[in-house]
Amino acid sequence: MGAFGIVLAVLIFLVVSGLIFSVAFTFYVAWRVYLRTLIRPENEKRERKCSDNENPQHVLMFEKGLEWASLYTANKTDVSIENDGLKLLGEYYDFGFERAVIILPGRTESLAYSYYYAEPYRKAEFNVLVIDSRATGLSDGVYFSMGELEKRDVIKWGYLLKEKFGVKTVFLHGICIGSSTAVYTLISKDCPDFFTGMCADGMYKNFFEIFRLHMKEWNRPAFPVAYEVMAILRIKTGANCLTYGPYKAVKKLDKPILFIYTDKDQYALPKESRKVFANCASHDKEIRWFSTGSHSHIRISDEEGYDSTILEWTAKRSDIL
């Protein structure tokens, strides 16, 4: 081999070695990001705490939710189900109605967060089930799947409401990722007919888009790390959050849905949210925009407007919900 061939071989070796090192390094970074953000460590203390003590609005929501729960302790029954080998816990508030709402909070939020959204449904004559989703609160689990696995849990919760408490219909109220879980539940082939519809607060286009925005906030490179995190997520949970999400799921939805958004949403961006609404196949869909509030903090910015929206929308459909 001549001198030129030797130099060329060395260059190729260096380039290939550099590529292998780069891929290995970015996957290492992606794995660390995944561990920090998208699983619950097995040794983490299980508790129902406020997830963001640095955000005054979030703290206020949590405190007001606890106040709500304290008013209705006489109506509360501790409940649980087992699914996929996991014991999942919840609280059922029975106000004597024939229908119930399951409130599905965002990722990492326990059922204590969901208290805050219960009052408009009590006024609208729904019983209320709040749950610790898998890997949150006091429930078992390590992995978050952004609704892909959680939808199976929600269906089982619905059967509990029907078979144990005599509830005739079940409605879903989802916040952020909870709205993703709700729509995946309703379009599932296993979803029973007594699930009647949903309200989506801050439903995003797909989780990958939200995750990229978070990476930008954290001053982390979205490419290729965000893509690699999505690959790890799929390997661990089976959830395809890179190319599939609510935007595609709503195209299969055939039940009533109320979309609630704010113009100030920094994750479910208004432009993309309008696309989600337009893509929704339901013949009974409605969208309500608020001019105040950030992502997952719409009600705290306008409780009267938020609650009246739910009360009016559900009242018009009292015969089917």
Does the domain at 52-206+244-316 match CATH 3.40.50.970? Answer given as no
3-state secondary structure of 39: strand
List, for residues 142-164, the tens digit of each pLDDT value.
Answer: 999 999 999 999 999 999 999 99
Domain ranges of the chain: 52-206+244-316
Within 167-284, strands assigned E span 169-175, 195-201, 257-262
**Whole-number Å distance between alpha carbons of 84 and 100:** 24
The pLDDT assigned to 15 comes to: 47
pLDDT in tens, 290-299: 999 999 999 9
291 three-class SS: coil
How many alpha carbons lie under 13 Å from residue 100 in its C-beta half-sphere? 27
What does the pLDDT read at residue 24?
A: 76
Pick from 24-33, 224-233, 264-273, 274-283: least confident: 24-33
Give me the phi and psi of 130, to 5 degrees please.
-115, 140
3 confidence band (pLDDT: 50, 70, 90):
low
